[in-house]
Chain A
Amino acid sequence: MSGKLRSRVINLYKQLHYMGKEYPKGADFFHTRLKKAFLKNKDVEDPKAIEKLIARGEYVIKEIEALYMLRKYRSLKKSYYPDEKPAQTS
């Protein structure tokens, strides 16, 4: 793997690891899965394939961000706006 791609992959791993610390099912749950996912693709050499995998990782980051945001919003809404029906928000 060329140096540039390598550092991008490492940064992606670091970012996912950092975000996993707050995962609802626990950091361990997330981190073991994260490691497994990266190890599974450790032999990928083709730069195009690596790009694709990085893009998938970035997509996962976005999804987790959205998950955290929604979780926070919902729990706040539950505690501070108890009478509202879900349909009214949007």
Chain B
Amino acid sequence: MSLRVLVGVKRVIDYAVKVRVRPDHKWVVTDGVKHSMNPFDEIAVEEAVRLKEKKVVAEIVAVSCGPPQAQETLRTALAMGADKAIHVEVPAKEAETLAPLHVANILAKIIQEEKIDLVILGKQAIDDDSNQTGQMVAGLLNWPQATFASEIVQDGDGLKVTREIDGGLEVVQVKLPAVVTTDLRLNQPRYATLPNIMKAKKKPIDKKTPADLGVDITPRQEIISVDEPPTRQAGAKVADVADLVQKLKEAGRI
């Protein structure tokens, strides 16, 4: 098989950063904060590269929708082994309100233009945790979907995907073209080494805008307020059982 694969990559706040709410309570602080590729997307890129190494896949196209800095994220994907990249540039201000449906519409357009056979996406991004884009892409294209994949193997002219579901694993067979979203245990992504990042600078990155693709990205949702979760109240030590019982009575627990 020689498939053309599309992987989606999102630039998110790095997983190790302590996220702070912006003073106007409309979003979180993103200025001067370290960003990197969404870890679930890293797993998606890695899986595509491994399928390429097994000769199942012929070409890997990495796509990112986001502000100009999303190019760095695409470079990382190229350094990991993607062949070319498409950057759908969305100004930083509009990127904040970019919803899964917008991204899914953009991806669906690119998938049709690029004659893609297989789409591999991270199951969710670690910033908004929506877990919707993959499902929406499959819905828009009317393609089969295999979400939360923990193993992908070629099976005839389709794929056999093991999915992580509540309380166990489920094996599904999908015909191509299909959409697959990755779970944490699918693989361990490789590190983008310095020489590979240098080499990736020679690989092509196409620039597009949502308008080029005919996708409307006006927000359909309004963020009313963003708040931190309530902090846990301090506990207290009790001297003995009697004390504990009394404290519980005071608190109205018993």
* A1 and B193 alpha carbons, distance in the complex (Å): 26
Q: Number of contacting residues on A, CB 8 A?
A: 18
Q: Number of contacting residues on B, CB 8 A?
A: 12
* A12 and B10 alpha carbons, distance in the complex (Å): 30
Which of A68, A77, A80, A89 lies in contact with B191, CB distance below 8 A?
A68
- Is the C-beta of A69 less than 8 angstroms from some C-beta in chain B? yes
* A89 and B126 alpha carbons, distance in the complex (Å): 21
* A19 and B16 alpha carbons, distance in the complex (Å): 16
User: Restricting to B11-46, which residues have a CB under 8 Å from any CB of A?
Assistant: 15-16, 39
Which of B126, B188, B191, B194 lies in contact with A14, CB distance below 8 A?
B194
Residues of A within 8 A of B188 (CB): 69, 73
* A68 and B192 alpha carbons, distance in the complex (Å): 12
Interface residues of B (CB under 8 A from A): 15-16, 39, 126, 184-185, 188-189, 191, 193-195
Interface residues of A (CB under 8 A from B): 11, 14-15, 18-19, 65, 68-69, 71-73, 75-77, 79-81, 89
A-B contact pairs, 12 of them (CB 8 A): A14-B194, A15-B193, A19-B191, A69-B188, A69-B189, A69-B191, A72-B15, A73-B184, A76-B126, A79-B126, A80-B184, A89-B185
The 7 A-B residue pairs with the shortest CB-CB distance, nearest first, are A18-B194, A65-B191, A15-B194, A76-B39, A75-B15, A76-B184, A69-B188
